[in-house]
Structure 1
Amino acid sequence: MEIMMPRLPLPRHLTLATLLAIGLATSACSRGNDHQSGGGNGESPAAASTPQDWAKLSQFSRIDVTGPDNVVVTIGPKFSVTADGDPKSVALLDIRTKADTLQIGRKSEGMWNKVDGGKGATIHVTLPAIRAIDVTGSGDFTLDKAEGTELALSLTGSGDLDIGQVKLGSLKAEITGSGSITLAGTADQGELSITGTGDIDAAGLKLGRAAAEVMGTGDMDFASDGPVAIKIMGTGDVKVKGKAQCTTNTMGPGEAHCGP
């Protein structure tokens, strides 16, 4: 069942490109400064700038990634952090913990680019459970699975997030930019949002109660048999499979599709 709200034209004075550019610039500057300074709340991060030090990193349930490198995460009983790939890129890695967050980035001289045309580095992480993933840049992030009360996913830039099977109480996934998020599984409730051209490909994800928002040209799809609130500003589409009770609010030519 779908309840249609009035379709309004997209305001001309506030373009999607302008909003996206402001969001990307603000996020990138904030994340870069936070990583190199250890954060904004006065806590000193546990320095771990060499592979020998990385073996000591533990007791984290959140991962914060900035830059062009790829991250592969596996849920397992013990903590582990290693890296391979282009030696110059590996040498530039800056990996440390701050509170319950593993911060992965680069030293300032190699922050955003791969070195001398190299393929970059791949960081391999194992941890018992994960609660949040925050990625800024062009690197890709892969997680094999996730279970628990909550998982928050944030992607800013052109990288991709590939999440395996999830079984969650609450799921939040947001994209700013051109990257994509792919995931499957179940969650009792979910909040999905896109700002820009990125896509959320979650045809294999079933949510109970859900809220879906698109501002731009990105598309998303998922399944639900519960109440779903959909808001679209732009040309992006939202597709919900199942018996969801959808309410929609659109500004622009984007469309919401709810049904089998």
Structure 2
Amino acid sequence: MKPLLTLALLASAVPTPALAEVTTRSFAAADFDRIDLRGCDHVVVTFGARFAVRAQGQAGSLAAIGVAVRGRVLTLLRAPGSCDSRRNKPAATINVTLPRLAVIQTSGTGSVRIAALDTPTFEARMRGTGALAIDGLRTTRATIDVSGTGTATLRGVRAARLSLNLSGTGRIVADGRADALAIDASGTGHVDTSTLTTGALSVDASGTGSVRAQVNGPATIDASGIARVTVTGRPQCAVSRSGMARVTCG
């Protein structure tokens, strides 16, 4: 028992590394309605009358964040090579408050979460491996464009026209309602709008990916390669298929 007790005492005497301190940093930024995220950080977007940009994370991470506003675009970026948790520069959380958001653009590995928004038009352009989540979208016209391995999740959509464009190995998921829905999917990615109802649907699918949708009305499907398209609801199907593509409509 004595050797075990000695080892326990020695272990308790070894100092353990302190947890990295979380700090905050505020940035002076205003008069923007577009956001361009570059790098590895996590952005949380909320809406209010006043502009605010505040980051939270380790000091090394906050020092590496760059913020600039040009032409109504808020750019959030990192210095090259600064997204490195081994150097005490892991991803930080950047909280952005603004009155209205028209465009979100991402590249790199960062993520964006947007509170429910009501806007005449909205556009999201995603590049890289990042993630986008929207907690509610009410709009006349919206376009979501995902390439690379990124993912986009849209909840509670209420749109007159919704366009979803996917290329690469990414994924788009949406629920809610759109009067008209257009899906353009290529590569090996997946689009799932099976819980989004629409009155008119058009799908252009190529490559090896899959599309799932539902419609109560006309559905125009163009599938090629070995794409898989499944349409439920009460569709009025017009299908053009080539290669080994598979289409299930109705």
Q: CA deviation at 1:51?
A: 4.3
Deviates more, 1:220-229 or 1:156-165: 220-229
Between the aligned partners of 1:176 and 1:115, the Cα distance in structure 2 is 29
3-state SS of 1:88 partner: helix
Q: CA deviation at 1:69?
A: 0.9
1:170-209 equivalences under 5 Å are 170-184=141-155, 185-202=157-174, 204-209=175-180
Choose from 67, 79, 82 the match for 2:51: 79
Between the aligned partners of 2:210 and 2:203, the Cα distance in structure 1 is 10
Q: CA deviation at 1:209?
A: 1.4
Aligned-partner residue type, residue 228 of structure 1: L
Between the aligned partners of 1:191 and 1:115, the Cα distance in structure 2 is 40
Aligned-partner residue type, residue 140 of structure 1: S
Q: CA deviation at 1:226?
A: 2.1
Choose from 87, 102, 115 the match for 1:131: 102
Choose from 70, 74, 98 the match for 1:102: 74
Aligned-partner residue type, residue 209 of structure 1: A
Q: CA deviation at 1:108?
A: 3.6
Of Structure 1 and Structure 2, the greater strand share is in: 2
**Conserved? CA contact 2:58–2:88, under 8 Å:** no
Between the aligned partners of 1:76 and 1:206, the Cα distance in structure 2 is 26
**Unpaired runs of at least 5, structure 1:** 1-49
Of Structure 1 and Structure 2, the greater helix share is in: 1
Choose from 180, 187, 209 the match for 1:216: 187
The reply on whether 1:140 has 2:140 as its aligned counterpart is no
Aligned-partner residue type, residue 160 of structure 2: D
Between the aligned partners of 1:138 and 1:91, the Cα distance in structure 2 is 19
**Unpaired runs of at least 5, structure 2:** 1-23, 234-250
**Conserved? CA contact 1:90–1:120, under 8 Å:** no
Give the aligned CA root-mean-square deviation in angstroms.
Answer: 1.8
| Number of aligned residue pairs | 207
Q: Percent identity?
A: 28
When normalised by structure 1's length, the TM-score is 0.75
Deviates more, 1:222-231 or 1:98-107: 222-231
